[in-house]
Chain A
Amino acid sequence: MKDQRLGLYVGLVLVIVSLIFMVSCAKHRDVSETAGGESREAVEKAGEKAGEAGEAGEAAISEEELAARKKAEARQAKEKAAKEKFVNENVYFGFDDASLTRKARRILSDKAEWLRDHPEQEVVIEGHCDERGTKEYNMALGQRRAESIKNYLVNAGIDSSRIDTISYGEERPVDPRHNEMAWAKNRRGEFRLK
């Protein structure tokens, strides 16, 4: 029995030692292989396999996944459109007037909502005038227009520290022509994100 036990112990030790030796050899091989090109190929192959597996998986759950993805895309598109609308939709004014029309209020109500949904965004409101009237007065009028837009947004709950105003008077017309249509386009408030 004793001999048998001793033989077993010796055998165990041998096994352990040989195992340790094998593992360390394997490690060495790994290192050398990683340094060579072989293993990269292997990794790439593995990747391909994983990809195949993924595709296969997607095919399997396509209905749900696609719907979700489409939904996300639609949300993004809508988000982008809302932002573009916020930036591109101007508010227009009457001649020598800084008060907000009903239409202007509707537009600003949407803008206030967008600003509430995006509390990280800061905005610059630009006040512009048409070429009629004098440069000095129009510079003040442009500021008045920007301020009246700002006041509306602040009253709608937007923190005033998020809103800056600037007047360009009659110096930056969008339409340089000298007629009623051009003037109407030029009497405007514009929105610029910081």
Chain B
Amino acid sequence: MNKKPICRLGLALLAAAFLWQAWGPPLCRAQAKYDYINISDPFLRKIPVAVPEFRSMTEPETEAKASARAADILTDGLTFSGYFEIIDRGAYLEDLQEKGIKGQDLNFDNWSDIGAELLITGGLWRYGDAVRLELRLFDTIKGELLFGKRYKGRIADMRRMIHRFCSEMVERFTGRTGLFDSRIVFIRKHGGDSSITVCDFDGHNPEQIVSSKAITLFPAWSPDGRRIAYTSYARGKPEIFVKELGAGGSPRISYDGVNITPTWVPGTGGKMAATLSVSGDEEIYLLTDSGKIDKRLTDSWGIDVSPSFSPDGSEMAFVSKRSGSPQVYIQELGSGDVRRLTYEGSYNTEPAWSPEGDRIAYSSMENGRADICVIGVDGGSRQQLTRDSGSNESPAWSPDGSLIVFSSTRSGKAKLYVMTASGTDQRPLLDMPGEQVLPDWSPAAAAE
């Protein structure tokens, strides 16, 4: 099957370029509830997992590298999600290269004794450019197989195959989906150029999609993951452009004054909202998919900027100075009713509505430095997630709601960092020269 010329069918089909099969216990068992994860704060306790090097099943010498790399991709993926803790390979008592990778070959006590609650075994078959992977997830305490998957594809697709397995695992334990297929867009400033760059969810494979000497800002993914709206001064003034991934961009929104902070409105088939100052005052407008003004959403003298919509598209969070200092407000689109969300602090901006709809991340500035905060949409349970680490700005949620990407000056120049939605596990997303700012996380299935 893997010899079908699918690889020639273009990028859009890449996702289908490998096949997978599942086996394991019957479905009813698979859906049994596990209490590995504390749902209210899943990052408080990480599940300890053992991931031994995969076993090479054909011509071991040529595959040893691929096997080691495959296991590393798996460990990195699970670690990145924030839910799992990988037990160091030096502690392992059993060598799968000798014993085998199936349940009957394993002594689970050897794994539970070193603290592993889960064990993942992998087998790798390699036929030229093609590769077959078998991955099995075991509960070491119960001594049983939770699920197993078989993947076939090109060696170049190995990362995607293994991330598919990671995704299944995260969904199994948290019910959350979409992280491992997602991508992140951001602005990179380097050597006088501003570029729009897109990378995988974990910072891998950065790719520049628009580069310009002109100021370029505010990239925002469309809900279908195929378009990116952004602001550029390419024609001398701040206008909004839309980049179709895989095609040229075209000027879309260019009214007098600023055309900034575009965002897409969920469930409207491509409508955007943005701040325009065409009336002489910065107000938020709803725009048709061809960039015409559909409707003015805010009506208050002074700055209104940075719209972010609830997942069902019925409410909009935004920043307004109507009370004297920049604060986050929520407007119900149907009735037009507006309520103030943030009261603590005198400079709260950049709201980002969580994909689960219950919380809003934003940046709160004090003494010239901003920190990322999260607050319930009812205004309760405010949490400050960063502190004493430079200026932390522009939060964006991963599509499964488990992680937040943001920019920080904690090590000097502004760079991108990722943390869990609870503020734990703060780490750099990628390492590249120049400044990286204004990240936005794609929806679950971003186009390539």
Which residues of A approach B to under 8 Å, CB–CB?
96, 132-137, 139-141, 143-144, 147, 165-169, 171-172
Contacts and interface: CB of A to CB of B under 8 A. Distances in A.
A82 B257 CA distance: 28
Interface stretch (B167-175, B243-251, B362-370): B362-370
A168 B282 CA distance: 14
A176 to B, nearest CB: 12
Contact of B349 (A137, A144, A165, A169): A137
A133 B305 CA distance: 13
Contacts of B260: 136, 139-140
A147 B319 CA distance: 19
Contacts of A135: 217-218, 393-394, 437-438
Given A96-B325, A135-B217, A136-B350, A143 B258 contact: yes
Contacts of B275: 140
A147 B275 CA distance: 15
A166 B214 CA distance: 14
A101 B130 CA distance: 71
Interface string B258-293: 101100000000000001010011100000000000
Given A135-B218, A143-B258, A166-B238, 18 more contacts: A96-B325, A132-B368, A133-B349, A133-B365, A134-B370, A134-B393, A135-B437, A136-B305, A136-B306, A137-B305, A137-B306, A139-B217, A140-B260, A140-B275, A140-B305, A144-B303, A168-B215, A169-B217
Nearest to A151: B280
B37 to A, nearest CB: 34
A139 B393 contact: no
Nearest to A130: B368
Contacts of B257: 143, 147, 165, 167
Contacts of B236: 166
B329 interface: no
B347 interface: yes
Contact of A96 (B258, B281, B326): B326
Contact of A134 (B237, B238, B282, B350): B350
B368 A137 contact: no
Point out which of B237, B260, B370, B393 has the most chain A C-beta atoms below 10 A from its C-beta. B260
B349 A134 contact: yes
A167 B350 contact: no
A147 B368 CA distance: 25
A141 B237 CA distance: 15
Contacts of B437: 135
A132 B393 contact: no
B365 A134 contact: yes
A140 B363 contact: no
Interface string B350-364: 100000000000010
A143 B282 contact: yes
B192 to A, nearest CB: 12
A134 B352 CA distance: 14
Nearest to A160: B280
A147 B217 CA distance: 21
Contacts of A165: 257
Given A141-B303, A165-B257, A171-B215, A136 B282 contact: no
